[in-house]
Structure 1
Amino acid sequence: MKEEDISRILEQEEESIRKQCDDIIRVKPDLVFTEKGVSDLAQHFLLKAGITAIRRLKKTDNNRLARVCGARIVNDTTDLRESDVGTEADLFEITKIADEYYTYVTSPTTTACTICLRGPSKDVINEVERNLQDSLHVVRNIMLNPRLVPGGGALEMALAQAITEKGKSMEGVRQWPYKAIARALERHSRSFHELLFKTVVETRFASLLLYAQNTLRVLTIGPGVLMELQENWLTCGSWISGIL
């Protein structure tokens, strides 16, 4: 390949980069985010136009960022329109934390956000991330179905009682599965009872007596006291009847 051919290739590359940058500059954005790299020449053209470029984003982050900004992701610069530019973000900043730089984009009308997790090791961060995911799922479920059930073994005991009563309506060996499931649930509730200062037999008998009286209560861990649930909690009776 001759030197003239190499020069021509470089000129074509520069012309292509300039055209792509002109397409971007034409819609007048302040920020450009891309999942790919940005060449030095493209950075030069964008800098002259007063445009900041953030490169090598993850696809998932890019999708979330588009939701925050109200922008549309475009794969070809020739398809760019002014309506594709997001205008819902009100703040952009880059902050250095330890040895790394972090980019923040905020919006008062956003429906997405980023939670930054930091820790001494990858294992710790993974554990925190799993706990955070579980917490987010709990919040999501409460938003979709805003009802609660009690803890402390109360739910398991109520289920055991309901299943036992259901089993009494069966005959012969058909009762056995109901009895087995009820005993398993009572065994789960027993582990909570063992944490109380009262004896297991005494506490379990008191719980069975309360449920037999159709009174929903929850066990407090520590003092060994049976407390009534608040009235605005979902009663296990109505919840269980829907299952059975």
Structure 2
Amino acid sequence: LVNAPLEVKETEMDAEITITDPAQMQAFIEQEEKMVKDMVDKVVAAGANVLFAQKGIDDLAQHYLSKAGVLAVRRVKKSDIEKLSRATGANVITNLDDLTEEDLGIAGTVEERKISGDDMIFVEECSGAKSVTLFVRGSTKHIVDEIVRAIEDAIGVVAATVEDDKVVAGGGAPEIAMAKKLKDYAESISGREQLAVNAFAEALEIVPKTLAENAGLDSIDSLVDLRAAQEDSYYMGLDVFTGEVADMKEAGVIEPKRVKKQAIQSASEAAEMILRIDDVIASTKGPEDMGMDPSMAGGMPPMM
């Protein structure tokens, strides 16, 4: 991986060379070729058989690299160079003089494939890769965007699970369990606090009810079955594939604790914010009562 050009550098100032002999012209050309050949020799000497360059590669350098059996790819984006470095373990070199065998990365296969008319380079079978690429295809851009969004969400969920190392059962099991505990707690208090606790518990039960409705099930029956099943185990949740109440732990239906906690916390904060509203300014008259065109409400008065 190189972020330097494999070509003869242009001088920073304009210079003119006076050649009076054809031999001088030939010597000038040969010197340029030698400079390019030296660059290629350094790559070959390090043992590289694939070269990714962030900048340009001279056509002559491409020729020498091809003869040496080195696949060369030029004008690779900086972001792709960084991903290749994490995937293959190669170091990004800024000066070919510093290139050694230790700077090389390892990949099982590197080949060019044509996908939908576009030529693409695939670097595969990288041991210990810390960066991978998911190739997403679809019939329309909208479908591709939806797939990408779903993949990003899934990766985020897995990352949260790995970082926290804590999960909860899915299928509405946590919501039913929390609602049951809250209703039991509500029995120990009185007044408005009891109403608030019961309302919070009922709000939690909306999650399994919605889950049942989306699965085409009767939400009331499903809720009753869940409450009864949770008397034996808090892992009991709704299996939308079978339409039955099942042990979510055994079924492998789990969610990251962080995601579940954040959802409940965000909903609670939103409800608290609404409840803290002291006053609401309401209009006593509508636009029609004020003799205005409704379409011009909030704008300029009607033109005469």
Identity %: 29
Aligned-partner Cα distance in 1 for 2:246–2:196: 31
Match of 1:34 among 50, 53, 74: 53
Q: Relative to structure 1, is the Cα distance of residues 18 and 157 closer, same or farther in structure 2, using a 3 angstrom cutoff?
A: same
For residue 17 of structure 2, what is the amino acid of its counterpart? E
SS of match in other structure, 1:119: coil
Structure 2: any 5+ residue segments left out of the alignment?
Answer: 1-13, 20-24, 265-304
Aligned-partner Cα distance in 1 for 2:110–2:242: 52
Count of aligned pairs between the two proteins? 236
The match for 2:157 is 138
SS of match in other structure, 2:169: coil
Show the 5 A alignment for 1:1-244: 4=17, 17-86=36-105, 88-107=106-125, 109-111=127-129, 112-144=131-163, 148-165=167-184, 178-194=197-213, 197-198=217-218, 200=220, 202-211=221-230, 213=231, 215-216=233-234, 217-221=236-240, 225-229=244-248
Aligned-partner Cα distance in 2 for 1:175–1:199: 25
Does the 8 Å CA contact 2:52/2:74 hold for their aligned counterparts? yes
Using structure 2 for the length normalisation, give the TM-score. Answer: 0.61
Does the 8 Å CA contact 1:68/1:106 hold for their aligned counterparts? no
For residue 102 of structure 1, what is the amino acid of its counterpart? M
In the TM superposition, residue 56 of structure 1 has moved relative to its aligned partner by 2.1
Q: Relative to structure 1, is the Cα distance of residues 3 and 39 closer, same or farther in structure 2, using a 3 angstrom cutoff?
A: same
**Higher helix content, 1 or 2:** 1
In the TM superposition, residue 46 of structure 1 has moved relative to its aligned partner by 2.1
In the TM superposition, residue 223 of structure 1 has moved relative to its aligned partner by 7.0
In the TM superposition, residue 186 of structure 1 has moved relative to its aligned partner by 1.6
Which has more radius of gyration? 2
Q: Relative to structure 1, is the Cα distance of residues 203 and 11 closer, same or farther in structure 2, using a 3 angstrom cutoff?
A: same
Does the 8 Å CA contact 1:163/1:179 hold for their aligned counterparts? yes
Does the 8 Å CA contact 1:92/1:105 hold for their aligned counterparts? yes
**Cα RMSD, aligned residues only:** 4.0
Using structure 1 for the length normalisation, give the TM-score. Answer: 0.73
SS of match in other structure, 2:69: coil
